[in-house]
């Protein structure tokens, strides 16, 4: 209305003078220019009428890091052009026809995907690499392949050691989610440089080894053929490796296009690393955190004996909302981080002998008892830290088809009532637990109360494979690779103690089926 009054004023001021309007094509601000007759000396000033535009609401575009769902965070940052060739189409169709597969994978990825995505972003690597554990292990941290690759990233023993992952009877760094992620990304960066920035060739090398990919490239060059990944003559698994990753990436990027729903994963940290600074029984650590032992073991599959390692490798992954409770409980129960036995030193015993008997370690015994040396004296009382599962490797135990049943001593217990409760004898209990004649029981002490043959179900969990000895192999190397003992390999193959193995020789091995990737 104000503009109409203003315009009327202008017309009044101009009087009866003849005006001629011409509008200039100025995209910034329209103007009205008034031309005066040449015979009129009077100059009339016409004010510019402002053009008011409606203000459009500003739409705030969320960054990938501000997304509520980690899948969206990844999808927004994938810049790799996904080819729509037959191989990619085949695996994309497979995933779309089998939605249950990605549904299970999404559940397994819940604790880890945010962390892995962050690590890939920090290095400026292609974001589809955060999806690689889907192809490698279906996001199963316990995955174990017939080629002895282990963990989310399916790293073989030699490569693991090469990239700093410790592996011993207590701990396997390939199953440590944090350490193995660092090693895997280091390896991928190394391969990317080796193949001059070609990520497809680098991924192929991650799967089958850089030597084999370089040989395939040289072969194609000599034959005058293209040397891109799609043209290389590679093993079937490697030829399908990149297409599988690209198929998953394409689905994650375009879920509406394919009518696919994948369970959202919160774009927030859900796990945290804690360092207790002491060797811990995982059962006790779980109690401190207020979670189940199985959940703790799923987050920390690197620990092979039900306890953290005695050599300083004692960090734990915990749900982030349990960290405060864990730290509080640990501070209040600093000396209760391990199950313990009380042992009185006998003639002829050494720390090494005692550690072996209780499946503990010399360092752990020294630390608990504040011993500066390994010297001990007859009659000395020692607290021996040990595990609730007697620190016996479950795979070894299952291989000989014998399993032990245990009982934790309660207040008021004695050998007689424990024996009666478990339908055995005091003599048998003493024999099973190497107890002296006048042994005194302690609350919390773990006793072996019987040994039983494993069920058919347990035996069925094992798979027999035939391994072809490679150059540089030894019985101990093969035993460590497949998590069995040298004695077992000798027994399965009727090998004499002094018999050497040779390259190309086939060995029978019994492997836990539950740890072999399908």
Q: How many CB atoms lie within 10 A of CB 36?
A: 14
Closest CA to 177 of 205, 159, 202, 155: 155
Catalytic residue among 21, 136, 237, 295: 136
Q: Looking up tokens 């601000």, which residue turns up?
A: 29
Beta bridge partners of 12: none
Residue 512: CA count within 13 A, CB half-sphere? 20
Distance of alpha carbon 130 from the chain centroid = 11
Beta bridge partners of 446: 408
Instruction: Give the angle subtended at the CA of 157 by the CAs of 205 and 192, to the nearest 5°.
Output: 25
Tell me the C-alpha to C-alpha distance, in Å, between residue 316 and each of 119, 171, 278, 328: 18, 12, 11, 15
Active-site annotation holds for 349: no
With H, G, I as helix, E, B as strand and everything else as coil, classify residue 476.
Answer: helix
Contact 515, 143 (CB under 8 A): yes
Angle at which helix 210-222 crosses helix 199-208, to 10 degrees, equals 120
Contact 489, 479 (CB under 8 A): yes
CA distance 389 to 406: 8
Contact 375, 352 (CB under 8 A): no
Beta bridge partners of 150: 144, 155
- What residues contact 136, with CB distance under 8 A and at least 6 apart? 143, 152, 153, 154
Contact 88, 247 (CB under 8 A): yes
CA distance 245 to 238: 11
Distance of alpha carbon 100 from the chain centroid = 21
Closest CA to 85 of 200, 193, 235: 200
CA distance 14 to 491: 115
Pairing of strands 316-319, 271-274: antiparallel
Active site residues: 136
């Amino acid at each position: 209305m104000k503009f109409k009054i203003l315009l009327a004023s202008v017309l009044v001021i101009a009087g009866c003078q003849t005006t001629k309007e011409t509008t200039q094509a100025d995209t910034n601000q329209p103007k009205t220019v008034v031309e005066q007759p040449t015979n009129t000396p009077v100059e009339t000033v016409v004010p510019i009428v402002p053009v008011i535009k409606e203000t459009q609401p500003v739409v705030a575009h969320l960054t990938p890091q501000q997304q509520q769902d980690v899948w969206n965070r990844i999808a927004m940052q994938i810049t790799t052009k996904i080819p729509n060739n037959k191989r990619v189409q085949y695996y994309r169709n497979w995933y779309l026809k089998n939605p249950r597969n990605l549904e299970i994978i999404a559940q397994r990825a819940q604790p880890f995907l945010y962390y892995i995505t962050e690590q890939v972003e920090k290095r400026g690597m292609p974001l589809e690499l955060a999806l690689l554990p889907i192809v490698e292990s279906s996001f199963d941290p316990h995955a174990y392949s017939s080629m002895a690759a282990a963990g989310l990233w399916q790293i073989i023993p030699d490569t693991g050691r090469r990239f700093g992952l410790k592996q011993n009877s207590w701990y396997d760094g390939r199953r440590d989610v944090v350490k193995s992620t660092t090693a895997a990304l280091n390896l991928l960066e190394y391969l990317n440089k080796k193949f001059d920035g070609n990520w497809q060739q680098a991924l192929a090398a991650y799967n089958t080894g850089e030597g084999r990919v370089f040989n395939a490239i040289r072969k194609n060059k000599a034959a005058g053929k293209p040397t891109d990944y799609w043209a290389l003559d590679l093993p079937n698994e490697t030829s399908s490796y990149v297409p599988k990753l690209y198929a998953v990436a394409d689905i994650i990027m375009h879920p509406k296009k394919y009518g696919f729903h994948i369970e959202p994963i919160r774009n927030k940290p859900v796990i945290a690393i804690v360092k207790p600074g002491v060797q811990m029984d995982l059962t006790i650590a779980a109690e401190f955190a207020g979670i189940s032992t199985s959940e703790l073991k799923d987050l920390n599959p690197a620990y092979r004996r039900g306890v953290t390692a005695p050599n300083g490798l004692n960090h734990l992954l915990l749900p982030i909302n349990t960290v405060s409770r864990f730290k509080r409980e640990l501070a209040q129960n600093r000396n209760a981080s391990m199950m313990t036995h009380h042992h009185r030193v006998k003639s002829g015993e050494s720390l090494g002998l005692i550690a072996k008997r209780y499946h503990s370690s010399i360092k752990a015994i020294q630390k608990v008892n504040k011993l500066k040396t390994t010297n001990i004296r007859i009659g000395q009382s020692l607290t021996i830290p040990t595990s609730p599962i007697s620190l016996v490797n479950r795979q070894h135990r299952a291989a000989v088809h014998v399993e032990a049943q245990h009982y934790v001593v309660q207040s008021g217990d004695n050998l007689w009532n424990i024996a009666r409760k478990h339908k055995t004898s005091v003599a048998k209990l003493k024999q099973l637990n190497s107890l002296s004649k006048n042994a005194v029981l302690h609350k919390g002490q773990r006793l072996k109360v019987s040994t039983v043959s494993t069920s058919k179900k347990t035996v069925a969990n094992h798979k027999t494979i035939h391994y072809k000895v490679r150059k540089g192999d030894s019985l101990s190397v093969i035993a460590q690779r497949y998590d069995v003992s040298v004695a077992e390999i000798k027994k399965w193959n009727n090998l004499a103690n002094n018999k050497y193995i040779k390259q190309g020789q086939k060995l029978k091995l019994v492997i836990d089926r539950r740890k072999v990737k399908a």
